[in-house]
Chain A
Amino acid sequence: MNLVHETVSFVQLFPEAVICGTIMAAVCSAFGVFVVLKRIVFISIALSEAATCGLALALVFHASPLACSALVAGAVVFLLALPEKRHHLPKDVVLGTVFLLASSASVLLVAQSGFGLEEIKAMLYGDLIVSGPRDRWVLLLTGVPALAMLLLFLRPVLYAFLDREAALVMGIRCWVWEGLFFFLLGLVVSGASKSGGALLVFCLLVVVPATALLLARRLWTAIGLAAAIGVLTTWAGLLAAYRADLPANPTIIGLACLLFGAVGAGRWLFRR
């Protein structure tokens, strides 16, 4: 009874946190299924950091956070979309450099701006609790259309990722669908970074869908399950943080990682 009462009072106190958390979790986790399947986990962390760097730019220049994060994330997407030459360094090196550059630039920008450690922490870890109506609209206008587009074009995107050469021979323009996917991913990460922070967005893009993929046997099931696990973990994390007076985002991340570990262990035991 006490839990129900606390849940109701939490929702009444922080409705925007619940709404923003729900949208972000559903969208990022659904997108994350493809991030995990395409083995581009490193791209997602580089994109998250690039979006965070954009937020730092916005903080310094008093510009729109969404515009700045979308701009920087878009630049990274463009860089990744460039064709890979043979015999050159692997793409991971470029991604690692982008990650390091974006991370250090975020800290340096905020350090030069006169803001303090709290702002850096807020950017890196985010804080869903302080989400407002503006964040909700940003998430709605970026995440929901992006997810709708992904689901609409699921077939060519899947085929381009699964078997690129066969898809090309079938007449699927793989570079179009890959480009669209990365553009949408950049949009989603940019929209979610301010409320979620780089770490939570990364967690929703990787840990939650990986958990769903351990359980699901079909792609649609994996996408639905990832969204559901993401939303439930976010709700549970928000409530646990409220009850225990903990920061919300790291609590959600901790719960998602614990769930992933439990599902992984359960699967291992089941297979034995």
Chain B
Amino acid sequence: MSDRPVIACRGVTVAYGRDVVLDRIDLTVPRGTLLPFVGPNGAGKTTLLKACLGLIPHQAGEIRCDFGSRPPAYVPQQKQLDPIYPVSVEDLVRMGLYPELGWWRRPDEAQRVRAAHVIERFGLAPHSRKQFGELSGGLRQKTLLARAVVSQAEVLVLDEPTAGLDAASEADLLALIRTLNADGGKTVLWVHHRMDQCAALARQVCRVDKRGVRVTDAAEVRP
């Protein structure tokens, strides 16, 4: 595994038209870190991560990413997926195999077993045949996280994975995220809206606010 940082931003500016969201920011994200991105609404947390993933263009500066041998896995908020699609939990988790399968190949036995194993590990086995739209918010978010894990990506990027979840589902999901980092060695970057939880979740946090972007000790973060 490379020692190079997963993300290295130098003087990056991102704007929507004339509205500058991130102004000449610098950021280095080391490999294997568990890093929540915190800050007030509209500060540019999601914009920063999307710019690093190439989903949003940046107007100035340089973004260097080394996501490893596989593309990173992006986990959107569960409400971004339209529940009318007739896709089961199993179908959606197997979507994570796309970088290996492409548009044509069918999953082989090992890939099917891997998907089934992840479904089992995430406690989704009893729901694997259910449609995504039939699940609760917590189970939907777990399904999207399972899809990311199936892809065997070294870097996971999560956009407010606990938004709109009840306390129990939120705790469950955060425990899973921590396990992915601690046991699986994944680099996990996620936008988080609960500053009060940061110290319990990670050693460091990335603060995004009017003062810019900086990585600080989680213990320093006050709600």
Say whether A associates with B: yes
Q: Which residues of A contact B (CB under 8 A)?
A: 36-37, 39, 86-87, 152-153, 155-156, 158-159, 161-163, 165-172, 213, 216-219, 221-222
A169 x B84 contact (CB < 8 A): no
**Does A162 lie within 8 Å of B87, measured CB to CB?**
yes
Residues of chain A with a CB closer than 8 A to B80's CB: 163, 165
Partner of A169, one of B17, B53, B82, B131: B53
B81 within 8 A of A: yes
Q: How large is the interface on B (under 10, 10 to 19, 20 to 34, 35 or more residues)?
A: 20 to 34
Q: Is the CB of B76 within 8 A of A163?
A: yes
Q: Is the CB of A217 within 8 A of B17?
A: no
**CB neighbours of B74 from chain A (8 A):** 165-166, 169
A155-B103, A162-B81, A163-B80 as given contacts; A213 in contact with B73, CB under 8 Å: no
- The 7 A-B residue pairs with the shortest CB-CB distance in the complex, in nearest-first order: A169-B74, A156-B103, A166-B74, A170-B98, A155-B103, A219-B86, A169-B53
Q: Is the CB of A219 within 8 A of B85?
A: yes
**CB of B115, distance to nearest CB on chain A (Å):** 15
- Evaluate contact between B86 and A221: CB separation under 8 angstroms: yes
Q: Does B5 contact A (CB under 8 A)?
A: no
Name the one of A153, A168, A218 contacting B103, with C-beta atoms under 8 angstroms.
Answer: A153
Q: Are A217 and B76 in contact (CB under 8 A)?
A: no
User: Taking CB as reference atom, which chain A residue is nearest B103?
Assistant: A156
Tell me whether B99 and A217 are in contact (CB under 8 A).
no
8 A Cβ contacts from B100-133 to A: 101, 103-104, 131
Known: A86-B16, A163-B76, A218-B88. A171 touches B82 (CB 8 A): no
- Whether A37 contacts B73 by the Cβ 8 Å rule is no
Contact B99–A170 (Cβ < 8 Å): yes
Q: Are B151 and A162 in contact (CB under 8 A)?
A: no
Q: Would B71 and A171 count as touching, CB distance under 8 A?
A: yes
B 123-150 contacts with A by CB, 8 A: 131, 144, 147
The distance from the CB of A172 to the nearest CB of chain B, in whole angstroms, is: 7
Q: How far is B47's CA from A86's CA once the two chains are assembled, in angstroms?
A: 15
Asked whether, in the complex, the Cβ of B85 is within 8 Å of the Cβ of A162, the reply is yes
Which residues does chain B contribute within 8 Å of A158, judged by CB atoms? Answer: 85, 87
- Give the residues from 66 to 98 in chain B that come closer than 8 angstroms, CB to CB, to chain A: 71-76, 80-82, 84-88, 91, 95, 98
